[in-house]
Amino acid sequence: MFNNMLSPHTTHLIAGGCGGTLGAIITCPLEVVKTRLQSSQEVRVVQVASTDGMTHKQITRTNVGLISALRNIVKTEGVSALFRGLGPNLVGVAPSRAIYFFAYSETKAFMNTRCQPESPVVHLSSAAFAGFTASTLTNPIWFVKTRLQLDRSTKEGKVSTGSIIKSVYQKEGVRGFYRGVTASYAGISETAIHFMIYEQIKLWLRDGKTDYDNKTLKDFLSFMGAAAISKSSASVIAYPHEVARTRLREGGHKYRGFFQTLRTVAQEEGARALYAGLGTHLVRQIPNTAILMVTYESIVYLLNS
C-alpha cells in the first residue's frame, strides 16, 4: 500500500520512532525504579564498631527489590512519580530510535556490499555505529530524564525539566549535559551484542521458509521471543555501564569518569553493586525490547506491503 509512497529511509525512521515511543510509555514505571536502584541514593554506608574495637563498613540499601521500590514511591511521592521523566523520554525516544534504526539499516546495507552479507561482522559494526550516533546526538535528553527520575521531592518542591536545564547550564555549561556519555559509549557493546544475537536468531527462523515476505502472527511472536532472548543476554553481559551512567548523571563531583566510577562503586559497595537493579532492568527490558522490535518489524512490513 505504502511501498511507492515512502522511501526505505523514511520507513525505518517511522518504524523505529513508533516502536520506541510505545515501549517507553508502557514500561516507564519500571524505568523509574531501575534508575533509583542504580543510584547512590539507595546506598547507606556506615561505620560499625566490632567486638575487638575495630570499625568496618556496613552497606545497606533502602530498597532491595522491585515491589518494595514501587510501593515506597507510590506511598511517599504518589502514583505520578512512577512516570517522572516520561516527558523527556517521549521527546527523546522517537528521534533516538529513529536515528538508531536509520543508521543501523544504512550501515548494514553499506557493510553488506563489502563483507559477507548478513554476517555477525556486519551486524556488530552496524549496531556499534548506530549506537554511537544515537548516543551522541541524544545524550542531553537522557541526562535530563535521569535527573527527573532521581528527584524525590513532593509535588510542591518537585523539580521541572526547565529548572534542571537552567541549573546545569549555569553551573557546567553545555558539557554538563554530556555527563554519562562515556558510559553510553561503553554500552554500545550491549546494543551490538543484542543485534548480533537478534539477527542470528532471525536467520535461524528464516531457514526452511520459502515465503518469508508474507509474515504471519507466528512470525511476529517469533520476533518477540528473539528480541527478548537477545536483549536479556546482552544486558547481563554489559550491565555495569548502566550503573556507571546513572551515577555519573546524579550530580556532584564524586563520580568523574566511566572507569573511575566503576572502581569507586566496586571499592565502596562491592562488586555486586555494579549489578544493582539488574532484576528490574531485565523485567523492564524484555517487554520493552519485545514491544519495540515487534512494532518496528510490523510497521516496516506494513509500509513495504
What gap in Å lies between CA 144 and CA 91, rounded to an integer? 11
What gap in Å lies between CA 73 and CA 24, rounded to an integer? 19
Record: fold of 8-304:
Mitochondrial carrier fold (1.50.40)
Task: Please report the pLDDT score of residue 58 as a whole number.
Answer: 65
pLDDT tens-digit profile, the chain (305 residues)? 455 566 776 787 788 778 878 888 888 899 999 999 999 887 776 666 666 666 666 666 665 678 888 888 888 888 888 999 888 888 887 788 788 888 988 999 999 999 898 888 888 889 889 989 999 999 999 999 999 999 887 666 678 899 999 999 999 999 999 999 999 999 888 877 887 888 888 888 777 665 556 667 777 778 778 888 888 888 888 999 999 999 999 978 899 899 999 999 999 888 999 999 998 888 887 778 778 778 888 888 888 77
Place of cell 522517537: 94
Q: How far apart are the first and last CA of the chain?
A: 6
Helices 258-269 and 240-248 pack at an angle, to 10 degrees, of 100
What gap in Å lies between CA 217 and CA 82, rounded to an integer? 33
Domain boundaries in the chain?
Answer: 8-304
Task: Please report the pLDDT score of residue 259 as a whole number.
Answer: 95
What gap in Å lies between CA 38 and CA 42, rounded to an integer? 8
What gap in Å lies between CA 89 and CA 28, rounded to an integer? 9
- Residue 108 near residue 122, CB atoms below 8 Å: yes
Task: Produce one character per residue of 255-265: b if its CB has 16 or more CB atoms within 10 Å, e if not.
Answer: beebeebbebb
What gap in Å lies between CA 177 and CA 145, rounded to an integer? 11
The continuous run of DSSP H or E covering 44 comes out as: strand 43-49
CA quadruple 14, 19, 20, 21: dihedral positive or negative?
positive
Task: Please report the pLDDT score of residue 289 as a whole number.
Answer: 75
* φ, ψ for residue 176, nearest 5 deg: -60, -30
What gap in Å lies between CA 145 and CA 147, rounded to an integer? 6
* φ, ψ for residue 48, nearest 5 deg: -115, 130
For residue 273, the cross-strand partners are none
